Chain A
Amino acid sequence: MKNVTNDLILKTATTIIVFLILGFSVYLFFAGHNAPGGGFIGGLMTSGAFVLLYIAYGFQTMNRVVKIDFKTFIPIGLTIAVLSGVGSFLYGQPFLSHTDGYFHLPIIGKAHLATAMIFDLGVYFTVIGVTMTIILSIAKDEGEQVENAE
C-alpha cells in the first residue's frame, strides 16, 4: 500500500449503495419487455455496482474477494442469447420466434413470462462481461507495464 487514502465515507456508503444498485439492476432487467429496462441497461447497472466496489476498495482487495473472471461472462451470455434463438428450431418455428404466457409461481404469484427473457439474460451477461473486461483491463496496470497473461 503506497498511499493510504482517507475514504471511510466512500467505503461505508458503498457497502449500502451497491446493494441498492444491484437490486435496481435486477428490477430493470425484469421490467424489460413491456416497460423501459432490459438486459442491456440491467447489465450496465450491475457492472456499475461492481465498478463502484472496485473504486472504493481498490483493485488488489477486490481481486482477492471476487474471484470471478468477467471474461467468461461474454461467451456464456452469447451462448444463451444464440441458443434462445435456435430453440425455436425445435418447434419448427423461424429463428428467434418467441412466445409468452402467464404462469402461477410460488411466492410471487401470477407472473408474465416470455421466452424473450432468455435472450435478454444472454444480453445481460454479455454486457457485464464486456464492460468489466474493458474497464478492468485499463485499470489493471498502474503506470508500469503489466502483461495481462490470461
Chain B
Amino acid sequence: MSNLAILPILLPLLTGIMLVFINKQKTLVKVITGIMVFVNLAVVSWIGSVVFQEGPLVLEAGDWPAPFGIVIVADQLAMVLVITTNLIAVASAFYAFRSLDEQRERYYFYALFQLLIAGVSGAFLTGDLFNLFVFFEVLLMASYGLIVLGGTKEQLRESLKYILINLFSSILFVTTVAFLYSVVGTVNMAQLAERVADVEQQGILTTIAILLFLVFATKGALFPLYFWLPRSYSAPPTVISALFGALLTKVGVYSILRVFSLIFIYKLEFTHQFFIYMAGFTILFGVIGALSTNNVKLIVAYNIIPAVGFMMAGIGVFSATALAGTIYYLVHDMIIKAALFFLVGTMAAISGTYDLRKMGGLIKHHPLLGWMFFIAALALAGLPPFSGFIGKFLLLKGAVEEDHYGIVAVGLIGSLLILLSIIKIFLNGFWGEARLAPEQEKASENGRLFPVALLLIFTIALGLGAEFFYPGIQGIADSLVDPSIYIDAVIKE
C-alpha cells in the first residue's frame, strides 16, 4: 500500500513524458490531458480518503528505512493541498484548451504543465528537506519553461529576473541545508525535528532557521522579497499566470508551515513573533501595490501578496485555531486565485486590452461573467458566506485568542483594501457604458467559464459546507501543533 504515496507525483510525470512523444498530434494531446487530469484528481482523492481514514502513508523509496533513505510522506495536510492542486489542474487544462494559441501548444505546454503538477505535488509530499529542494527545482524548471513559452519581448525580459531570483534563493537553500547537516547530521525532516532539541548551540540553529525562512519567503513572495512577483506573474498568458499564482507561492508558504511547525519550534518568541511583523507588512504593501495599478492582471497578481501575508500571520500566531485558519485560507486562496486569473484573462480577451481604463460595460453582454467575477471578488475579500470568510475568521479568532491585536487590525484594514482593489475592476470593467458591441469583441467567453464555474462551486462549497470541512482541517491543525504525530508516522521504532 505504501506505493500509493508516490502516485500523485508519478502519474503527472509519466503523462508529461508521454505528451512529449505525441506532441505533433494536437487533438490527441488535448484528449489525453483532459482524461489524465480527471484520472489524477480521482486517484489523489482516493489516496486522500485513505489517508484521512487510516493516517499518514509513508513510502520509503528503494526500501531504505526512514532516516537513511528518501521518504515520501502523504499526511493529511499534504493530501489536502495535493487534491486542491489537482483540482486547479483540471480547471487550468480546460481553460488552456480554449485560450492558448497554437504556437504555445506546440512548444510543449501540456507536457510542462504536467511536470509542474508533478513538482508541486512532490514538494507537498516529500519528507526530506533536501528532496524539498529537488522538487522545488523540478517545479521551477517547469515554470521556467512555461514563463518563456511563446517568447515575447516582455516575457523574455521578465523571465530572466524570475529565474535569477529563484536560482539565487535555491543556492541559498542548498547552503542552508549544508549548514543544517553539519549541525544536526540529517536532512530527514522527522529526524531533524527529533534532534534539534538536543543541539547545544541554539544560536546557530536560529540563524539556520532565519536563512531557511528567507529562502521560502523569496519563493512565497513575502515582504520585502515580493518585488519580483507581480510583473513576472503577469507577463505570460493567463492560464500560466493562474497556475503560478495558484500554486507556486503556496508551495513556499507550505514549506514555511511545515518546517516551522515541525522543526524550528523551540524559539517561538523570536521566530514566530518575527513572522507576525513580516505578515503585517506583507499584507499592507501587497494591497497598496494592488491599488496602484490599472492593469487588471497586475491587480490580481498583486493580490497574491496580501494572501500570503494572511497565511503567514496564522503561522506566526501558531495556535491550533490560527493554523486551521492558515490551512483553510491556503486551500481557499489556491482556488480563488486561479479563478480570478481566469476571469480577468477572459475580460482582457474580450476587450482586447489589460488596461482597466479602456474597458467598461462588460456586464451588458456578459452577465454570467460579471456575476461570477462579483462572487469571486467577495470570496477574495473574505465576505461571508464564501470560503475566504471562514479562513480569515479562524485566523483572526486565533490571533485575538493569543492577544495579537496588531495583526488583527492590519488584517481587517487589509481585507477592506483588498475589497476596494478588486471591486475597482468590477466597477470600471463591468459597469458603465458598453464600450464594444458584441461583434467588435476580440474573443468569446464560450468554454472559458466552465473552469471558473468549477472553481467557484468549490469556494462556495468550502464556505457553506464549512461544517463538513472544518473538523478535518482542525484535525490537521491539531496534528501540526503536536509534531510527534508526524515523527512517529515516519520513524517507526
Write the residues of chain A forming the contact surface with B, with a CB cutoff of 8 angstroms.
74-75, 78-79, 82, 85-86, 89, 93-98
Which residues of B1-39 are within 8 A (CB) of A?
2-3, 6, 10, 13-14, 17, 20-21
A86 with B61, Cβ < 8 A, contacts A79-B17, A94-B2 known: no
B3 near A95: Cβ-Cβ < 8 Å: yes
Q: Which of B17, B61, B62, B70 contacts A75 (CB 8 A)?
A: B17
Q: Is B60 an interface residue (CB 8 A)?
A: yes
Q: How far is the CA of A79 from the CA of B15 in the complex (A)?
A: 10
User: Of all chain A residues, which has the CB nearest B61?
Assistant: A96
The 6 closest A-B pairs by CB, nearest first: A75-B20, A96-B62, A96-B61, A95-B6, A97-B63, A78-B17
Q: How far is the CA of A89 from the CA of B2 in the complex (A)?
A: 10
Q: Which of A74, A78, A89, A95 contacts B61 (CB 8 A)?
A: A95
Q: Is B301 an interface residue (CB 8 A)?
A: no
B13 near A94: Cβ-Cβ < 8 Å: no
Q: How far is the CA of A96 from the CA of B64 in the complex (A)?
A: 10
Which residues on the B side are within 8 Å of A75 (C-beta)?
17, 20-21
Q: How far is the CA of A93 from the CA of B61 in the complex (A)?
A: 9
B3 near A94: Cβ-Cβ < 8 Å: yes
B59 near A95: Cβ-Cβ < 8 Å: yes
Which residues on the B side are within 8 Å of A98 (C-beta)?
62
A82 with B3, Cβ < 8 A, contacts A94-B62, A97-B62, A98-B62 known: no
Which residues on the A side are within 8 Å of B6 (C-beta)?
95
A148 to B: closest C-beta gap in Å:
10
User: Of all chain A residues, which has the CB nearest B6?
Assistant: A95
A82 near B17: Cβ-Cβ < 8 Å: yes
Q: How far is the CA of A59 from the CA of B14 in the complex (A)?
A: 34
Which residues on the A side are within 8 Å of B59 (C-beta)?
94-95
A94 with B61, Cβ < 8 A, contacts A74-B20, A89-B3 known: yes
B20 near A94: Cβ-Cβ < 8 Å: no
Given contacts A86-B14, A89-B3, A95-B62, 8 further A-B contacts (CB under 8 A): A74-B20, A75-B21, A78-B13, A95-B3, A95-B61, A96-B61, A97-B61, A97-B62
A86 with B17, Cβ < 8 A, contacts A94-B62, A96-B62 known: no
A86 near B63: Cβ-Cβ < 8 Å: no
Q: How far is the CA of A85 from the CA of B62 in the complex (A)?
A: 9
**Overall SS of chain A's interface:** helix
B17 near A94: Cβ-Cβ < 8 Å: no
B482 to A: closest C-beta gap in Å:
27
A123 to B: closest C-beta gap in Å:
14
Which residues of B67-103 are within 8 A (CB) of A?
70, 72
User: Of all chain B residues, which has the CB nearest A94?
Assistant: B63
Number of interface residues, chain B, beta carbon within 8 A: 16
Which residues of B326-376 are within 8 A (CB) of A?
none
Report which residue of A79, A89, A96 has the largest number of chain B beta carbons within 10 angstroms of its beta carbon. Answer: A96
Which residues on the B side are within 8 Å of A89 (C-beta)?
3
Which residues on the A side are within 8 Å of B61 (C-beta)?
94-97
Which residues on the B side are within 8 Å of A79 (C-beta)?
14, 17
Q: B405-416 interface mask toward A, CB cutoff 8 Å, 1 = contact, 0 = none?
A: 000000000000
Which residues on the A side are within 8 Å of B60 (C-beta)?
94
Q: How far is the CA of A93 from the CA of B62 in the complex (A)?
A: 8
B9 to A: closest C-beta gap in Å:
9
User: Of all chain B residues, which has the CB nearest A98?
Assistant: B62
B232 to A: closest C-beta gap in Å:
22
Q: How far is the CA of A96 from the CA of B2 in the complex (A)?
A: 13
Which residues on the B side are within 8 Å of A94 (C-beta)?
2-3, 59-63
Q: How far is the CA of A93 from the CA of B59 in the complex (A)?
A: 10
B165 to A: closest C-beta gap in Å:
22
Q: How far is the CA of A85 from the CA of B3 in the complex (A)?
A: 11
Selected A-B contacts with CB under 8 Å, 16 pairs: A78-B17, A82-B10, A86-B14, A89-B3, A93-B63, A94-B59, A94-B62, A94-B63, A95-B3, A95-B6, A95-B61, A95-B62, A96-B70, A97-B61, A97-B62, A98-B62
Which residues on the A side are within 8 Å of B62 (C-beta)?
94-98
Report which residue of A74, A75, A86, A94 has the largest number of chain B beta carbons within 10 angstroms of its beta carbon. Answer: A94
Report which residue of B13, B20, B72 has the largest number of chain A beta carbons within 10 angstroms of its beta carbon. Answer: B20
A110 to B: closest C-beta gap in Å:
26
A82 near B14: Cβ-Cβ < 8 Å: yes
Q: How far is the CA of A95 from the CA of B60 in the complex (A)?
A: 8
B184 to A: closest C-beta gap in Å:
25
Which residues on the A side are within 8 Å of B70 (C-beta)?
96
Q: How far is the CA of A34 from the CA of B2 in the complex (A)?
A: 29
A127 to B: closest C-beta gap in Å:
14
Which residues on the A side are within 8 Å of B17 (C-beta)?
75, 78-79, 82
B250 to A: closest C-beta gap in Å:
25
Which residues on the A side are within 8 Å of B72 (C-beta)?
95
A133 to B: closest C-beta gap in Å:
12
Q: How far is the CA of A94 from the CA of B13 in the complex (A)?
A: 18
User: Of all chain B residues, which has the CB nearest A83?
Assistant: B14
User: Of all chain A residues, which has the CB nearest B60?
Assistant: A94
A73 to B: closest C-beta gap in Å:
11
A136 to B: closest C-beta gap in Å:
17
Q: How far is the CA of A95 from the CA of B14 in the complex (A)?
A: 14
Q: How far is the CA of A82 from the CA of B115 in the complex (A)?
A: 13
A19 to B: closest C-beta gap in Å:
31
Which residues on the B side are within 8 Å of A96 (C-beta)?
61-62, 70
Which residues on the B side are within 8 Å of A97 (C-beta)?
61-63
Q: How far is the CA of A74 from the CA of B2 in the complex (A)?
A: 29
User: Of all chain B residues, which has the CB nearest A95?
Assistant: B6
B185 to A: closest C-beta gap in Å:
24
B13 near A82: Cβ-Cβ < 8 Å: yes
Q: How far is the CA of A85 from the CA of B7 in the complex (A)?
A: 12
Q: How far is the CA of A96 from the CA of B72 in the complex (A)?
A: 12
Q: How far is the CA of A78 from the CA of B13 in the complex (A)?
A: 9
Q: How far is the CA of A89 from the CA of B59 in the complex (A)?
A: 12
Which residues on the B side are within 8 Å of A85 (C-beta)?
10
